[in-house]
Amino acid sequence: MSSGSYEVIVLGVGAMGTAACWHLARRGVRVLGLEQQGIPNALGSSHGYSRAIRLAYFEHPDYVPLLKRAWALWRELEEVSGQTLLYPTGCLYLGPPDSALIQGSRNAAQLHGLPHESLDRQAIADRFGQFCVPDDYLGLFETRGGTLRPELSVAAMAGEALSHGAVLHGNAAVSRWEADANRVTVFTTAGETYHADRLVLSGGAWSSQVVTGIGVPLTVTRQVMGWAWPLKPDRFRLESGFPSWAIEHGAGEFHYGFPMLADNPGFKIARHAPLGEVTTPETVRRTPAPGDEATFRPALQQFFPDADGPTLAIRICLYTNSPDGHFILDRHPSHANVAVACGFSGHGFKFAPVIGEALADLATTGESALPIGFLGLSRFATAGEVPGAAPI
Ligand SMILES: Cc1cc2nc3c(=O)[nH]c(=O)nc-3n(C[C@H](O)[C@H](O)[C@H](O)COP(=O)(O)OP(=O)(O)OC[C@H]3O[C@@H](n4cnc5c(N)ncnc54)[C@H](O)[C@@H]3O)c2cc1C
């Protein structure tokens, strides 16, 4: 059954896909978004009530211009949707002086003139007494950082896309797509066929199946998020000024978390472990398993003794890791009319509105004025060879 013709089809309407639909629709482009689950959903990578946004990007300073644009777009989305999506709590980074988190964040902040404060042991204790870190740790506090609401954000972007005329179908799984120089054809498992001039592939953890032919391996990992009820809850509430935070401890071991939010009880803490348990979206154990609590409880005990209360929830999420931990955002190497966004490696959410803007550019003009060159496929140019994993 042929089910219609569009200018652009977006395959996968999660964080990046809804953002692409929003930008395309508000430019007046006839766009169809196809999502195999609900919009939003809790089976991919964009759920769990909170996501960090930070600008002093230790992963690589080249992300900072994109982050500045993303911040502005989040604020714009809040204005047009009437929703509060970003709590500008600031972000506190803690770690040994030579840690990638401290050094990389400071480097990015200095290079791009981002407001930040360096904190010694005394300043950490005076300003952020909830944190209990070793005496030799340093702190860096970034005011222009905070907490995003992922489910609300996806819903807000979907709402804006719809109000500008986008057609979004949930529970519409794509079984395959094909492209020639003039058009793309997308087939769903329900037997529908859609045609368009261009295609955007934003399939998250399913990208290995969805984005064929780019020659770059993607590794999906199972990630555990924990919520505990603090012994002294008032110390960790959003209203008390508690910041978003990340701590690097041990060799490249990170934990991170957020202030407590009124509509999501408990203190959230999780380990950032891109090379964690390898899985697939089809086979992942989605219910909590023995051992999951051990991914966050020792860090809770060590760094937040006042939050070390009973567990309220454990939830599972998926990272889709590229070989070097950096995003893949480009045109498909064999199809100029297909744009690809994948491999967000556990740190993509904060960028969603600017990734959507870049995808809208790629899907309409084939190029973007945004500084996305460093995220292109050419960095994996030598066939069969990929750079070694970088700390992210
Ligand atoms: C535990 C955890 C913590 C994180 N913390 C942060 C953080 O603090 N800050 C940050 O910036 N980032 C963070 N991230 C990363 C960030 O959330 C992800 O990079 C981002 O959400 C990925 O968005 P996406 O659009 O690629 O994937 P998704 O939002 O999962 O969207 C992909 C969509 O494609 C759909 N799809 C796939 N295949 C098909 C098909 N064949 N047909 C139709 N639909 C299809 C899927 O159902 C899915 O809804 C975290 C991730 C996790 C798991």
Question: Which structural domains are found in the chain, ordered by start?
Answer: 2-46+151-217+324-380 (3.50.50.60), 92-146+219-321 (3.30.9.10)
What local confidence, expressed as pLDDT, does residue 382 receive? 60
- Closest Cα to atom 45, ligand 1: which residue? 12
Q: What is the Cα–Cα distance from 165 to 7, expressed in whole angstroms?
A: 12
- Of 51, 352, 2, the C-alpha closest to 186 is 2
CA of 392 to the centre of ligand 1 (A): 17
Crossing angle of the two packed helices 64-81 and 150-163, in degrees rounded to 10: 70
Say what the pLDDT of residue 212 is.
87
Q: Given the CA of residue 347, which atom of ligand 1 is nearest to it?
A: 12
Query: What pTM was computed for the model?
Result: 0.96
* Per-residue tokens: 167: 């057609």
Q: Measuring from atom 21 of ligand 1, which residue has the nearest CA?
A: 46
Alpha-carbon distance of 1 to 193, in angstroms, equals 6
* Residue of minimum CA distance from atom 35 in ligand 1: 12
- Whether 233 and 136 have beta carbons less than 8 Å apart is answered as no
Q: Is the CB of 37 under 6 A from ligand 1?
A: yes
**CB of 202 closer than 6 A to ligand 1?**
yes
Residue with CA closest to ligand 1 atom 26: 204
Q: How far is the CA of 220 from the centre of ligand 1 (A)?
A: 11
Residue 52, CA atoms < 13 Å, CB-side half-sphere: 25
Angle between helices 352-365 and 15-26 (to 10 degrees): 50
pLDDT at 233: 97
Q: What are phi and psi of 55, to 5 degrees?
A: -105, -35
- Give the per-residue pLDDT at 1: 53
Ligand 1 atom closest to the Cα of residue 52 is 8
pLDDT tens string for the chain (392 positions)?
556 689 999 999 999 999 999 999 999 999 999 999 999 999 999 999 999 999 999 999 999 999 999 999 999 999 999 999 999 999 999 999 999 999 999 999 999 999 999 999 999 999 999 999 999 999 999 999 999 999 999 999 999 999 999 999 999 999 999 999 999 999 999 999 999 999 999 999 999 999 988 999 999 999 999 999 999 999 999 999 999 999 999 877 899 999 999 988 999 999 998 678 999 999 999 999 999 999 999 999 999 999 999 999 999 999 999 999 999 999 999 999 999 999 999 999 999 999 999 999 999 999 999 999 999 999 998 644 333 333 32
Nearest residue by C-alpha to atom 51 in ligand 1: 346
pLDDT of residue 273: 81
pLDDT at position 276 is: 81
